[in-house]
């Protein structure tokens, strides 16, 4: 809760600045306090963009303070009302894909604990997910209906701006996924090849763009971000990790560690308090859901939007790898991955054959009862 109350305290100061110095209030968001800080797009220190995510969030909360007179819990209501639109957008997309699984989609959208927690309180994740949802909603229905009106274009722009300002690295991650999605819509028979080709091209560009311009040294930016996390003081959920080097071989060697950090931890042995216990229970429940999805999927022949499903998988895996490569704080990892939870959980939950699973469990219980009666 330290971050959310810190944001609130800063928003109170910003709220008072509105009345004491209106000019500063309306201009400080566009001021670069560093020398060339605006050019450090991926920088972890002395970067205008690194500061912008917190500054913009504080500015939004300061607007809430005008109506709530600085009351924290009233601001939570305002904020949750806005971010609810993101969850509703994903719900509408997924119920259009799985029209007979509305209850399953509803539960998987709104009741994943980490997603519910981090997108409902005063954390940036709520607006980040709303940005992602606006993009997915606009593209999905725009492609399906072959109609791009003002509202859809505005939704796309708003979504991209939210991601750019609040977590700019997601902008780089989502562009290849969207490009592959759009290309697959044009050539659906080559969907797997298109996604594979796009991502291989992006991996090559990731490691070679620095030879075009030093400003595009993506591997070094990831290494710098990891070092910034390692050097952070405070908290008790940081874990020791192998440090990255800005080389392809180093990234390749660290893939198992990245996957472990972002998709499996926290372990039960990592539990230190109630929130970490909840996170450990959740990740194990989701791993169980994945196993059920693998072995107990529905075998129906209905047409799903495979392009969107491919987008969800490739984009989510990219996000998880980026988290695993940079963060060593388990609390931060749980928070960062919360924004892609619905994109993974909803398709898995909707495709599990719950009726068949229920029948298997009932038969198993009956067999045990019969054995008991015989003995």
The pLDDT of residue 34 = 85
pLDDT tens per residue, range 29-46: 888 888 888 888 877 778
What is the reported pLDDT for 361?
A: 76
Determine the average pLDDT of the residues in 132-157: 93
How far is Cα 326 from Cα 315, in angstroms, rounded to an integer?
17
* Nearest of 172, 193, 174, 175 to residue 184 by alpha carbon: 193
Neighbouring residues of 252: CB distance < 8 A, sequence distance ≥ 6 = none
CA dihedral sign of residues 16, 21, 25, 31: negative
Q: What is the pLDDT of residues 173-232, one digit of tens each?
A: 999 999 999 999 999 889 999 999 999 999 999 999 999 888 888 999 999 999 888 887
C-alpha 219 chain-centroid distance: 21
Give me the pLDDT at residue 369, please: 64
The percentage of residues in the chain with a pLDDT greater than 90, rounded to a whole number, is: 62
Q: Is 365 helix (H, G, I), strand (E, B) or coil?
A: helix
Across residues 88-114, what is the average pLDDT?
A: 93
Helix (H) or strand (E) holding 285: helix 274-295
Burial label for 17, CB within 10 Å (0-12, 13-18, 19+), is middle
DSSP symbol at 243: P
Q: From start to end of the chain, where are the E strands?
A: none
Average pLDDT for 145-164:
92
What is the mean pLDDT of the segment spanning 233-256?
86
Contacts 24+ apart (CB under 8 A), 35-42: 39/215, 41/168, 41/215, 42/168, 42/169, 42/218, 42/221, 42/224, 42/225
Q: Which of 53, 66, 312 is nearest to 163 (CA)?
A: 53
What is the predicted pLDDT for the residue at 362?
Answer: 77
Q: What pLDDT, on a 0 to 100 scale, did the predictor assign at position 229?
A: 86
Block residue for tokens 């000019």? 23
Contact yes or no for 124/163 (Cβ under 8 A): no
Q: Tell me how far apart the alpha carbons of residues 159 and 147 are, in angstroms, rounded to a whole number.
A: 18
pLDDT digits (tens, 9 = 90+) for 63-100: 999 999 999 999 999 999 999 999 999 999 999 999 98
Is residue 258 scored above 70 in pLDDT?
yes
Is residue 308 within 8 A of residue 140, CB to CB? The reply is: yes
Q: How far is CA 361 from CA 19, 159, 288, 368, in A?
A: 64, 43, 15, 11
Q: Please name which of 273, 298, 271, 297 lies closest in space to residue 283, comparing C-alpha atoms.
A: 271
Burial class (CB in 10 A: 0-12, 13-18, 19+), 284: middle
* pLDDT recorded at residue 303: 52
Q: What pTM value is reported for the model?
A: 0.90
| 86 touches 132 (CB < 8 A) | yes
What is the helix (H) or strand (E) element at residue 169, kind and residue range?
A: helix 168-186
Q: Report pLDDT digits (tens) over 330-348.
A: 888 999 999 999 999 999 9
pLDDT at 1 over 90: no
Instruction: State the sign of the Cα–Cα–Cα–Cα dihedral 118, 122, 124, 126.
Output: positive
pLDDT of residue 371: 60
Under the banding of pLDDT at 50, 70 and 90, the label for residue 374 is: low
Question: What is the per-residue pLDDT for 272?
Answer: 82
Per-residue tokens: 185: 């819509």
* Helical spans, DSSP H, in 111-167: 113-120, 125-145, 150-166
Three-class secondary structure assignment of 288-317: HHHHHHHHCECCCCCCCCHHHHHHHHHHHH
- Helix axes 125-145 and 150-166, enclosed angle (nearest 10): 150
pLDDT 10s digits, 291-345: 999 988 886 655 568 899 999 999 999 999 999 999 988 888 999 999 999 999 9
Chain mean pLDDT for the chain: 89
Instruction: Report the pLDDT averaged over residues 355-372.
Output: 72
For residues 315 and 166, the answer to whether their CB atoms sit within 8 Å is no
């Amino acid at each position: 809760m330290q971050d959310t109350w810190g944001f609130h305290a800063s928003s109170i100061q910003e709220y008072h600045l509105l009345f004491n110095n209106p000019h500063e209030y309306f201009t400080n968001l566009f001021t670069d306090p560093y020398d060339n800080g605006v050019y450090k797009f991926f920088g972890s220190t002395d970067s205008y963009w690194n500061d912008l995510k917190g500054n913009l969030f504080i500015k939004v909360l300061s607007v809430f303070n005008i109506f709530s007179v600085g009351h924290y819990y009233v601001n939570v209501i305002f904020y949750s009302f806005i971010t609810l639109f993101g969850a509703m957008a994903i719900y509408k997309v997924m119920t259009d894909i799985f029209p007979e699984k509305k209850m399953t989609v509803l539960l998987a959208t709104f009741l994943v604990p980490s997603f519910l927690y981090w997108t409902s309180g005063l954390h940036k994740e709520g607006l980040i997910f709303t940005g992602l949802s606006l993009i997915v909603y606009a593209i999905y229905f725009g492609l399906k209906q072959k109609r791009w009106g003002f509202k859809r274009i505005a939704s796309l722009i708003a979504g991209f701006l939210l991601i750019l300002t609040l977590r700019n690295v997601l902008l780089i991650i989502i562009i290849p996924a969207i490009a592959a999605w759009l290309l697959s819509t044009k050539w659906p028979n080559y969907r797997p090849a298109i996604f594979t080709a796009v991502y291989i091209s992006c991996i090559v560009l990731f490691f070679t763009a620095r030879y075009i311009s030093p400003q595009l040294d993506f591997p070094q930016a990831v290494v710098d971000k990891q070092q910034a996390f390692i050097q952070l003081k405070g908290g008790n959920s940081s874990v020791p990790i192998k440090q990255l080097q800005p080389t392809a071989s180093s990234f390749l060697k660290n893939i198992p560690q990245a996957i472990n950090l972002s998709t499996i931890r926290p372990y039960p042995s990592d539990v230190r308090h109630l929130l970490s216990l909840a996170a450990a229970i959740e990740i194990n429940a989701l791993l169980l859901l994945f196993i059920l999805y693998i072995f107990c999927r529905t075998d129906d022949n209905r047409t799903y939007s495979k392009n969107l499903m491919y987008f969800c998988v490739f984009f989510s895996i990219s996000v998880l790898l980026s988290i695993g490569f940079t963060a060593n704080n388990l609390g931060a990892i749980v928070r960062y991955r919360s924004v892609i939870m619905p994109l993974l959980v909803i398709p898995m939950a909707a495709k599990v054959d719950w009726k068949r699973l229920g029948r298997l469990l009932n038969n198993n219980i009956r067999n045990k009862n019969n054995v008991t009666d015989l003995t």
